[in-house]
Amino acid sequence: MSTTGIAATALVFLESIDPDDSIWDDGGIEQFVEEVHALATQKRLARERFAIRRAIAGLRAEVDSLAVSDVEVELLALEGADLSNMDPSSVVPRIQALTTAIAAYRQDERTASDASTSTISERKTIYEPTSSLFPRPKQVSTGTQKTVGTISRQTHNSTPVTRAMWTVAYFLARYGKRVGGGPASAPTELGDITWKDAFHLFYASFNDGRNAHRFRKRLENCRDSYDRYVDSGRRGWDAKLTATATAVLNEWQNRPREELWEYVKQFVTR
């Protein structure tokens, strides 16, 4: 219903009240107007908070994609924030700033000869830190970080994805099992298992000090980077491949499945 329609409905209701009704004498109409205003404010805030949660969910997808290039974006505090006790107008500008920083990084990524040489820290002048509104949880650091607000590139054990791991990711993307029109499941060579279990088969070979969850997201994002080059049934990431990922694609895209599996299976640990 439009705002005009709501106002018209309220006016019709008021006009329907008899002038002799006692409601006009005891402040009932004023109370009614105040309650309508309060309810309208509550509904507007609920709508804005819903939009904020949806925007945060969209940012999470972008953050997971950036993790492929070892760009760390801290969203846990934002995702865990109690929006019910916060003014949406104080949150939206910070989400917009973070979105702008990510978009700027993406632009650099597309124009750079090697995406791994581009950092979000180059965009610090346009990024408004969210730390004042969403304090970052205290963490025990095992190395140095380049940080801009809540965006950082890890330098302690967050090494670039190796050529071997990119090759595994390409195998997973290209040879997933398709059934019907849905997205592919894990390749048959790995057995009848979920993607979560499939990723874990490579944990011992490529975890690089990450816990199981972070490793799984990293390998999953690497796999998804190849989706637009293969028939996987997934949307994948619309981002430029790194130089190493491109080299793997060029090396294996015209070679037989058996040969690729022969190489990949050495990294499987059951």
pLDDT reported for residue 166: 95
CB 146 within 8 A of CB 124: no
Backbone angles phi, psi at 238, to 5 degrees: -95, 70
Task: Give yes or no for residue 270 having a pLDDT over 80.
Answer: yes
The tens digit of pLDDT for each residue in 157-180 reads: 446 789 999 999 999 999 999 888
pLDDT reported for residue 114: 45
Rounded Cα distance, 130 and 98, in Å: 8
Rounded Cα distance, 247 and 163, in Å: 8
Q: Is the pTM of this model over 0.75?
A: no
The tens digit of pLDDT for each residue in 66-87 reads: 766 666 676 666 677 777 777 7
pLDDT reported for residue 109: 64
The tens digit of pLDDT for each residue in 123-138 reads: 433 333 333 333 333 3
CB 182 within 8 A of CB 104: no
Task: Give yes or no for residue 185 having a pLDDT over 80.
Answer: yes
pLDDT reported for residue 156: 37
Mean pLDDT of the chain: 76
The tens digit of pLDDT for each residue in 195-211 reads: 999 999 999 999 988 88
Bigger pLDDT: 41 vs 212: 212
Backbone angles phi, psi at 212, to 5 degrees: -60, -40
Rounded Cα distance, 23 and 12, in Å: 16
Bigger pLDDT: 10 vs 223: 223
pLDDT reported for residue 122: 44
Band (pLDDT 50/70/90 cuts) for residue 116 is very low
Task: Give yes or no for residue 38 having a pLDDT over 90.
Answer: no
Task: Give yes or no for residue 244 having a pLDDT over 50.
Answer: yes
Band (pLDDT 50/70/90 cuts) for residue 43 is confident
Residue 99 tokens, joined? 């979105």
Closest C-alpha among 179, 168, 269, 178 to residue 226: 168
